[in-house]
Structure 1
């Protein structure tokens, strides 16, 4: 049991070191990519909500 706890702790330490080493690198085009992603996600959510409302309306009209 103790050996498994040591393995888990070792994996956690490796994951922490890897995560911290990746955070040192910055992305110069982050703002532009974020703006584009936000527009795309907003469009996707809008279409999904609209289609969901249409499907709900069809379901309610057919079930009555």
Structure 2
């Protein structure tokens, strides 16, 4: 079980880093939309992380 949690965290971290790297390589004309999209993606990752931690905590407690 611990291995699965560690693997999920590693994959989520890799996805987050990949998103930031991909966002930095956009066209100059789309920089404002890229910033907006990056902000939305960051919020999605934050909400997802909170939900995952709460879910794991509930799973371990119950």
Select the structure with the greater relative contact order (CA < 8 A; seq sep ≥ 6).
2
The 4+ residue runs of structure 1 with deviation greater than 4 A are none
RMSD: 1.5
What is the TM-score with the length of structure 2 in the denominator? 0.54
Distance 1:49 1:55 in 2: 10
Task: Show structure 1 runs of 5+ residues with no match.
Answer: 1-25
Which structure's CA Rg is the greater one? Answer: 1
Is it true that 1:58 corresponds to 2:53 in the alignment? no
Aligned length: 36
Q: How far is 1:27 from its partner? A: 7.3
Matches within 5 A, 1:1-64: 28=29, 30-62=30-62
Distance 2:57 2:44 in 1: 20
What is the TM-score with the length of structure 1 in the denominator? 0.52
Task: Show structure 2 runs of 5+ residues with no match.
Answer: 1-26
